[in-house]
Structure formats: structure tokens, C-alpha cells
Chain A
Amino acid sequence: EVQLVESGGGLIQPGGSLRLSCAASGFTVSSNYMSWVRQAPGKGLEWVSVIYSGGSTYYADSVKGRFTISRDNSKNTLYLQMNSLRAEDTAVYYCARLRLRHAFDIWGQGTMVTVSS
């Protein structure tokens, strides 16, 4: 079964760091475009970052310089390293696979990140 399972969310103080993980099953992370999308409480979806199969990475302006997307091919896992966290980064973070010409076709269940003192 094709599946994505996120982990690593939690409560963190402003300025702190957190690493989210997204374990994939049923397909190979490194052969696909993979992305992180977030959703603040009661708000809409916001694209955060993408890593292409060739390794190129791109970020939304709101997280550029603070977040880093990466993958571990041996573990078939996607990561999001989040540094210098701010209150406005509070959200459910979803990992998603990109296929079908730039469509997010598979989503994880999401992991909640709360940035608060």
C-alpha cells in the first residue's frame, strides 16, 4: 500500500529547532518529487518546500533560509529541518508526493507543530 507517515511534531519555543520525518511505503522517495505543505489552525493550505528526484530543492519565501528539505534514500524517508521557528510557523505539516504533472497525489496524515513560549 502506498502510504506516507509523518512524525516529529510537538511544542517548541520560538527560536527553537525541530526536524519532521515522513516515512514512505509502497514507493521510492528518491524517484519522486516530494513536498511539504502546511496548514495553520483554521486556515488554508500553504506550500512549504519541494525536493525533486534529481535533488534540486525549492522553498516558499516564508521559510527560505530557515527550513531545509532532505531525504534519506536508505530509509526511504523525507525530512524537514526547521530552524529559527516563529509563532507563525504553527501548523499541521503534511508531506505529499508530487506526480501526475505537478499534482499532490498522496498525502500523509499530518503532524502538528506548535511554536509557543
Chain B
Amino acid sequence: QSALTQPPSASGSPGQSVTISCTGTSSDVGGYNYVSWYQQHPGKAPKLMIYEVSKRPSGVPDRFSGSKSGNTASLTVSGLQAEDEADYYCSSYAGSNNLGYVFGTGTKVTVL
């Protein structure tokens, strides 16, 4: 149950785009289309932003989008806004064979 690998940090100016990668294995990210992404502001609980690789829950702006290729998933935030500055975590289902779920190492997004 190793954590999924994310870059520690990413940044962009307001209005620009930033993309965060999330690399796992064929047992998690690559094996299922059950990758989700979470936004966490300091001192707050995480918030679901993307599920099933690329679907957005109701209320999440369409500036947030997700994709996957092989063992790597990605989250893109377009038209960066100040309120997008937060930590972002990916997560993947890892199978019913007692593996459960795995989170990414987290990426701090800074809006310059």
C-alpha cells in the first residue's frame, strides 16, 4: 500500500493553468477508473473535486478537469483563481483483495 506519487508543489499566475500528476501502479491507478481528487485548505477537511477520473460533482467549477493515461492520472486547474491555492490529493481504489484505497502524497498549489 504505497502512496501515489505527486509533485510536492505547483504554481501559476491568476488566469493560467496548472496540471498535477498522480502516478501509481497497475494495481491502483492503472487498474481502475476510480481515481478521485480532493482540495484541502489549511485547517479544513478535504473536499471532493473530481471522481471516476474526470467527473465533477455538482457545484465544482468546470475549471477543474481530470484525465488518466496508464498508471498516471492528472488534475488540471484552468483559469487559476486566488481561492484555488490549497493542497490537492489524488486517491485511487486499490481493489477488494484487502488493499482498499490509497492517497497521493499531496501537491501544494500556489497562485502567484
Does any Cβ of B come within 8 Å of A61's Cβ? yes
Kindly supply a per-residue 1/0 record for chain B positions 89-112, scoring 1 wherever the CB is within 8 Å of any chain A CB and 0 otherwise. Answer: 101010010111111111000000
5 chain-A/chain-B pairs, Cβ below 8 angstroms: A35-B101, A44-B89, A49-B100, A58-B98, A61-B1
The size class of the interface chain A forms with chain B is 20 to 34
Kindly supply a per-residue 1/0 record for chain B positions 1-30, scoring 1 wherever the CB is within 8 Å of any chain A CB and 0 otherwise. Answer: 101000000000000000000000000000
Chain A residues with CB under 8 A of B98: 58
Chain B residues with CB under 8 A of A110: 45
Tally of contact residues, B, Cβ under 8 A: 29
Minimum CB–CB distance for B22 against chain A, Å: 12
Interface residues of A in 72-104 (CB under 8 A from B): 94, 100-104
Chain A residues with CB under 8 A of B84: none
Minimum CB–CB distance for A23 against chain B, Å: 15
